[in-house]
Amino acid sequence: MENNSIINPELYYKIKGKDTKIDTKIIDFKMTEKKYINEITVGDCREVMAQMPTDCIDLIVTSPPYGVGIEYDVHNDDMIIDEYLKFTEEWLTEAYKVLKDDGRIALNIPYEINRQDKGGRVFVVSEIWQIMKKIGFKFFGIVDLEEDSPHRSRTTAWGSWMSPSAPYIYNPKECVILAYKKTHVKKIKGTPQWIGEAAQVPDKNNPAIFKNKTVYRDEDKKEFMELVFGQWKYFNDSRPLTKATFSMDIPSKAIKILSYKGDVIMDPFMGSGTTALSAEFLGRNWIGIELSEEYTKVAKQRILEYRAKLAQTKLELEEVSKF
Ligand SMILES: C[S@@+](CC[C@H](N)C(=O)[O-])C[C@H]1O[C@@H](n2cnc3c(N)ncnc32)[C@H](O)[C@@H]1O
């Protein structure tokens, strides 16, 4: 019976955990809804999530449509702002339902959008956070995203030229809203991203006495400290895989700092599959939902190519981001 529920060795360890703290929700989820795991389901994420069991996802990492009129394959991104916010509330309500009580969400959105005749300028972070709060999400933090080598040209719309009459002040940056469902602290501990080594170190006050301590590599400590600082650098992947692009750096950083190995990571707007690749590379399970069949084909191809390459050689994250 347990074999049916095994997705990867880390999860197996968690389920067979010697400390007898068995997460029955994980087991139930695997037994009944295994079809979603490490797969992309084609469909409207609101409907797909409505079919999924409650309390089964550890972390949602996603970059939803921004409501700025991007010509996606099938999704109409050219809504008036009120419709866009209604759509946002609908999918976030389902997302809240599928998260475990200690589940988290990392939501990549722009600070602001300008919809001109479809709703004017909107402080989208504020609007979406109000919706999240109403649904029940609790605030975990906000990460300011800093492009490593900004490719976006600065806006040429500056309003009233050389005058304070009506200047156009616009911030093209994006951020990641971090939130959790009910409890900030993870109920069941798993294997974190960074594993130290047990060592005997001299006591600070009495160097003659040695104490057991977990010692971490300097680069791991540096990475952890970078991730808890709410400003993440990222390389903007602008390859035309689909109309939807997402830097591998964003899901990778969120997954490393917010989840254990073997956890279930979901992206309800999977696009070209960046979150799936990142989760798989980092030893997590993943669930993808995507409205476009075309984009799903692209994403699946990326994942298959990654797996084929990995079967031949060990890969670094920088190499995975090129798939
Ligand atoms: C900003 S993109 C996501 C990019 C993605 N992170 C990637 O790596 O390519 C938004 C995606 O959401 C999809 N989408 C739009 N509405 C959807 C819906 N209701 N359910 C599921 N997917 C949807 C679009 O087709 C598009 O691929």
* Ligand 1 atom with the shortest distance to the CA of 289: 21
155-164 per-position pLDDT tens digit: 678 899 999 9
CB 140 within 8 A of CB 178: yes
Q: Is 285 in the pocket of ligand 1 (CB under 6 A)?
A: no
75-134 per-position pLDDT tens digit: 888 899 999 999 999 999 999 999 999 999 999 999 999 988 888 999 999 999 999 999
Q: Is 290 in the pocket of ligand 1 (CB under 6 A)?
A: yes
Q: Is residue 69 a part of any domain in this protein?
A: yes
**Residue linked to tokens 């399970």:** 285
Q: Is residue 5 a part of any domain in this protein?
A: no
Q: Is residue 4 a part of any domain in this protein?
A: no
Q: Is 75 in the pocket of ligand 1 (CB under 6 A)?
A: yes
Q: Is residue 13 a part of any domain in this protein?
A: no
Q: Ligand 1 centroid vs 298 CA: distance in angstroms?
A: 13
Distance CA 258, CA 262 (A): 12
Residues facing 167 on adjacent strands? 159
Q: Is 61 in the pocket of ligand 1 (CB under 6 A)?
A: no
pLDDT at 242: 65
Q: Which sign, positive or negative, has the C-alpha torsion 249, 254, 260, 264?
A: negative
3-state helix, strand, coil in the chain (%, to 5): 35, 25, 40
Q: Is residue 1 a part of any domain in this protein?
A: no
- The structural domain count of the chain equals 1
Q: Ligand 1 centroid vs 47 CA: distance in angstroms?
A: 14
Range of the domain at 127: 19-151+169-186+193-320
Q: Is residue 81 a part of any domain in this protein?
A: yes
Domain of 297, CATH number, reads 3.40.50.150
Q: Is 63 in the pocket of ligand 1 (CB under 6 A)?
A: yes
pLDDT at 8 over 50: no
Q: Is residue 223 a part of any domain in this protein?
A: yes
pLDDT confidence band for 238 (50 / 70 / 90):
low
* Ligand 1 atom with the shortest distance to the CA of 245: 9
Q: Is 246 in the pocket of ligand 1 (CB under 6 A)?
A: yes
pLDDT confidence band for 300 (50 / 70 / 90):
very high
Q: Is residue 290 a part of any domain in this protein?
A: yes
- Residue of 316 and 242 predicted with greater confidence: 316
pLDDT at 19: 39
Q: What is the pTM of this model?
A: 0.88
Give the pLDDT mean for 262-272: 95
Task: Provide the b/e sequence for 210-236 (b: ≥16 CB within 10 Å).
Answer: eeeeeeeeeeeeebbeebeeeebebeb
CB 160 within 8 A of CB 169: no
